[in-house]
Amino acid sequence: MAAKSLKLCRVLSCIFPLSRFSISRSSYILQIRSYADVPQPSSVDPSPAKINGRNDGNAGRTSVSSSLNEVELAKFSAIAETWWDSEGPFKPLHALNPTRLSFIRSTLCRHFRKDPYCARPFEGLKIVDVGCGGGILSEPLARMGASVTGIDAVDKNIKIAQLHAELDPMTSSIEYCCTTAEKLVEEQKKFDAVISLEVIEHVADPAEFCKSLAALTVPDGATVISTVNRSMRSYAASIIAAEYLLHWVPKGTHQWSSFLTPEELVLILERASISVQEIAGFVYNPLTGKWAVSDDVSVNFIAYGSKNSQ
């Protein structure tokens, strides 16, 4: 048994190396650098971000727009009830969320000149969580003082998010809505910051999706997107290991061909009037079970950009 565990650790170490690697710079990328985590005060709930916030089933579907992928919506609708089960299909996100929140906290505080060490640094900011799923990113954002709107194309996700948010007075003010980014654009909604984590790899048209995110962002506002790189290591880590060996997520969760490279995402955002300021990677330590921010973007990465002034 011990030998088997040792062998598994060696396999994981090959897929999720502990060391950090620099990547080649692209002419599109303004900055990729090692990232120092910002400590979170104890009042911030380290509950998870979300994985595939765009799900759907047979209930509550909004008007379909060009970026929605019906197959992906149906796929994740089947596990919609498990959003807040830390040992369920979204378990990896429960582990990853504090690290992503640390990146978001630091970049948005720098962007809006807020104090990253205060308990509610996002006070006064309007933030939309696009593809919010069950609200596992929206809630900590609200606890950090933001006025949060969470949207998702799946009615079941929104209902779960609303029920959970009502359990805490600090999150009960979140405005959840079963809709799409495109629909909010039609309604001429604007936000100081637009965040969409682990969603773009599940939409039908990433370029159109990013145009919608840009349209929702006020001039000089901030946009944050996280996703999975299209690399051989991401195939090994996100599909072979996570889906088939470790069973972290259901089989078929990811389609490798739908992943975007950092260079592709930066170019798409630039064409949508979002100037990328920083990209960081997330690396997993199989010995501790913890995630950390890194300059290794070969598997998971996150991008922060600024909406160009009009």
Element at 265 (helix H, strand E): helix 262-271
Mean pLDDT of the 40-44 span: 36
| Average predicted confidence (pLDDT) for the chain | 77
- The pLDDT, as a whole number, for residue 239 is 59
Q: For residue 213, which of 177, 253, 265, 254 has the smallest C-alpha distance?
A: 265
* pTM (2 d.p.): 0.73
pLDDT band at 36 (very low <50, low <70, confident <90, very high): very low
The predicted pLDDT at position 95 comes to 85
pLDDT of residue 143: 97
Helices 262-271 and 206-216: crossing angle in degrees, nearest 10, is: 50
Q: Is the pLDDT of residue 189 over 90?
A: yes
Segment 227-254 mean pLDDT? 64
More confident residue, 28 or 160: 160
Confidence bin at 290 (pLDDT 50/70/90): confident
Q: Any idea which of 72-81, 196-205, 290-299 has the lowest mean pLDDT?
A: 72-81
